[in-house]
Amino acid sequence: MSKYLRFSVLFLLVISVLSCSEIKKPPSSYQWPIIEGFPKPQVPANNPMSLAKVTLGKQLFYDVNLSANQTQACASCHIQEHAFAEPLPTSIGSTGHKHRRNSPALVNIAYNKTLTWAHDGLTSIEQQLLLPMFSENPVELGITNHEATVLARFNTAQYKALFQQAFPEHNGQHITYDLITKALASFVRSLISLQSPFDQYAYYNKDEAISASALRGMTLFFSEKLECHHCHGGFNFTQSTSHEKQLIDRRPFHNTGLYQTLDKVTGHLGYPSDDIGLAEISTITADNGRFRAPTLRNIAVSAPYMHDGSIATLAQVLDFYAAGGRHITSGEHQGDGRLNSLKSPFIKGFSMSEQDKIDLISFLHTLTDEAFLTNPEHAKP
């Protein structure tokens, strides 16, 4: 493996890490499981990390008592062996409501600049978690109108002790949704994955960690021909990264040409009206079909893909990019996404041999972090 390639790949990855001045933070005793020299994630001043909070958060994450009808936990839709994503194309809530979106992997969320598939204003995990807990459309855990009943279930000796350890300053007072959210957010932040074969290769200098085929795939991934790294760049394989050393502000939402559907009501061409991406939040027409470029870490275990789980395999994802968008020839979403006028100029299509495809898939598999997927610290208590 040429030292030059390693250098250029590392340069691309680390360029976002090494920026400008450091923001001063109060010291925290929590040890982030990150590679030496990596920037630490930013944590809200009113919810510093602690092991006790992570432990409590894990207990809550796996507890079906957090849903009103006691059938669903966070972990029902965020499953460890799938990198905390799930194999369904779109999620189903505790009362059977069908969600319009695919459950995203919870991988290095502590570094996410924004949360959910398409929201440029949702930047705090604590805020975001109110959605699965209290949302009524769609219902996920369905706590709304059952607030007191759900809360009372945590009034047990075991939980009281866990809350006391996590929030000693709270002095054994009543358990609140504020404390529950803080603990859950701390657990979500603790889900750090940086031990994949790719990391062994790139950061621990282990040439043998990845195959020759995967190396060729890596070169393609970082090439100007395929452009993948423009949107899935940096150490977290997503542009949507924020950490203590990063000051540059970017708007990492893109239309990748998945759809070009005729809306029968408005007569507009674009993404299906039940999910138009960022445009729903920004109300800017040009944001139609823009979604966040997600991290590709552990991507091999988090199928199906895209915001609506509409692509089943990595091979099909690659065919989609090679074609420069998706042409749907029949059914309710019929239309040629390749011709979507709001599509990112980086999605221009490319030629790909069968060998290139095998190589790219091997490379994407080097982002699978077995230690993360089986780590008992993240598993059901």
Beta pairing partners, 336: 327
Least distance from ligand HEC to the Cβ atom of residue 268, Å = 18
Query: Which amino acid belongs to residue 91?
Result: S
Structure tokens at 87: 């194999």
Least distance from ligand HEC to the Cβ atom of residue 220, Å = 8
CA 137 – CA 39 distance, rounded (Å): 37
133 vs 202 by CB, closer to ligand HEC = 133
CA 289 – CA 257 distance, rounded (Å): 8
54 vs 74 by CB, closer to ligand HEC = 74
CA 235 – CA 252 distance, rounded (Å): 15
9 vs 129 by CB, closer to ligand HEC = 129
59 vs 207 by CB, closer to ligand HEC = 59
Least distance from ligand HEC to the Cβ atom of residue 308, Å = 7
* Burial of residue 354 (number of CB atoms within 10 Å: 0-12, 13-18, 19+): exposed
167 vs 297 by CB, closer to ligand HEC = 297
Least distance from ligand HEC to the Cβ atom of residue 240, Å = 9
9 vs 115 by CB, closer to ligand HEC = 115
Other C-beta atoms within 10 Å of 326: how many? 23
What contacts 6, CB < 8 A, 6 or more positions away? 201, 202
Beta pairing partners, 270: 261
Least distance from ligand HEC to the Cβ atom of residue 192, Å = 14
Cβ atoms 185, 57 nearer than 8 A = yes
Residues forming contacts to ligand HEC in the complex (CB under 6 A) are 61, 72, 74, 76-78, 91, 93, 99, 101, 103-104, 106, 109, 112, 115-117, 125, 128-129, 132-133, 140-141, 184, 188, 226-228, 230-232, 254, 256, 258, 291, 293-294, 296, 299, 302, 305-307, 317, 321, 344, 346-347
